[in-house]
Amino acid sequence: MKRTHIRRFAAAGALAVLLGSVSAMPAAAADDYIFRDGFESGAGDWKGHGSASVQTDTKHPYADSSALAVTGRADSWNGAEKSLKGICTPGETYSFSVCACYDSGPQTMEFMLSLVYEDADGKAVYDHLVQVETIAGFYVQLANDSYTIPAGASNPILYVETKSGTASFFIDDVICAEQGTKIDGPKPVKFTLGDADFDGVISAADLTVAKTYCGQTFPSKTVQRAADVDQSGTVDAADLQWYQNYLTVQVTDYPEPVKPAVEPYNYEAALQFHEFPGNYLDQSSHPGKVIEEHYEGPKGTNTCYVYLPADYDENQKYNILYLMHGGGEDETTLFYHKDTHMQNIFDHMIENGDMDPMIIVTPTWNQVGAENFWQELRERVIPYIEGKYSTYAASTDLADIQASRFHRAYGGFSMGSISTWGVLMHDLDIIAYYMPLSGEYKVGGLSVSDQAKLIIDAIDNSGLQPNEYFIFAATGSDDMAQPNMTPLMNELKKYDKQLIYTSDLSQGNYYYMMAQGRQHWWAHVRHYVYDILPYFFHEGQ
């Protein structure tokens, strides 16, 4: 029998559980198991599911000295798998148990134990045995003591995945037994602010944990987050004082969260066009990554690409830009066209401090048309992307998307610029920043003044104040879109109550930058993104 492995730390004479979880020994005897995989002698017949890789790990065991590390996950369904062919019989019922944990990434993660098999027609069928949520650093048990493998199933494969995210994780003590076998394991651990030892109550032991690591590196981000009761980002004397006051019943509530001081951004009131440095087109020594994503569009599966900055951390929140391509292009253009390679530019901008790390998404309007993309963005793209990646949206509920609008931007080139005006007309409640590049707001048969009036009416109908939305437009003097775009930009200047003209977005909300000699070409337009994007996301914090 494997002995239970408990990871602990000593704190002022007290032994407190830090990572891992005390587990009773399984109720059944080892001889009763159909198989039990503890990874003491390697990965055995487990392998990566999807793009994932597996290897034994001695730093994160649940029991004994080894676990199985699952890394290189490109999607949530990527994980670790074991074939049940020749081990379990279709039509029979079994008891399954897997212990799983992760040590860095999102604040919580939902693990799923799943089965994939082929039906009589050879079609892959997916089924979920159990789904359990846990927090970083704590093992949780995925157990189902009465799961029937469907009769007629062929090539059944058991695998561990997550509901969302791509963080690496660990599994250990994988057991298959006869139906009804009760297999004990670690219980889900709930995060409670102040409960730094995760025993379910706030006590003197939590103060001991906070004192031990105050001003030092905590063994776990989760423990630090629990001890940081004022949510300032560090555990300091103010947190220790709160513990003292709470334990002596001088206070009964949490302190007000401390918001870090935000330095005012150094805007230029009349920003002029600048090219980015030539080496920004070279690959960075510390690059981010671009991930292909698929979601259900209005006319079937649609594709977009997601740029994640280097050292992307699901524990952090990121601003997000949706950047749209032009006519005759698609979602690959921004990252894979010879005249773009925007990921290299973004890498260098972040690395050199031009802008903060952010998420950048390149969707496509090709299913619905540029002027109509606003609805697909609102109903399909944003909920899918921001339900998967870490942005300021607390959830994908409309109220949370609206509450995070100051951390969301939309822009596009040419037809993508037309889509930008359409998004502004319909999605002001969920997006604060707009970047129309080399394209006007086209409405068939309407004059420039009437088009401007439609934009202003949409702003007025939103009920927003001028410091709650921002438009930073640009084009080239020799751009074929310029003769149509400039009259609209000038017309909009007349509405000085709604649009206050300056590139200092702390003082106004509307600006139009002209690049002399530049034409209708991404090789020119990508410089506009370099100039404008650093000006976003500083207001409305």
According to CATH, the superfamily of the domain at 190-257 is Dockerin domain (1.10.1330.10)
Q: At 57, give phi and psi (nearest 5°).
A: -140, 130
- CATH class entry, domain 7-178: mainly beta
Contact criterion met (CB below 8 Å) for 493 and 455? no
- Quote the pTM value: 0.66
- CATH class entry, domain 280-535: alpha beta
pLDDT tens-place values along the chain, 541 residues long: 332 332 322 232 222 334 443 333 344 455 589 999 999 999 999 999 999 999 999 999 998 999 999 998 988 899 999 999 999 999 999 999 999 999 876 778 899 999 999 999 999 999 999 999 888 888 999 999 999 999 999 999 999 999 887 889 999 999 999 999 999 999 888 889 999 998 889 999 999 999 999 988 887 778 888 999 998 888 999 999 999 999 999 999 999 988 777 788 999 999 999 999 999 999 998 899 999 999 999 999 999 999 999 989 877 899 999 999 999 999 999 999 888 999 999 999 999 999 999 999 999 999 999 999 999 999 999 999 998 899 999 889 999 999 999 999 999 999 999 999 999 999 999 999 999 999 998 777 789 999 999 999 999 999 999 999 999 999 999 999 999 999 999 999 999 999 999 999 999 999 999 999 999 999 999 999 999 999 999 998 6
Domain ranges of the chain: 7-178, 190-257, 280-535
- Four-point Cα dihedral 354, 355, 360, 362, nearest 10: -40
Query: String of b and e for 395-431 (b: at least 16 CB within 10 Å)?
Result: eeeeeebeebbbbbbbbbbbbbbbbbbbbbbbbbebb
Q: How far apart are the C-alpha atoms of 63 and 65, rounded to whole Å? A: 6
Contact criterion met (CB below 8 Å) for 367 and 376? yes
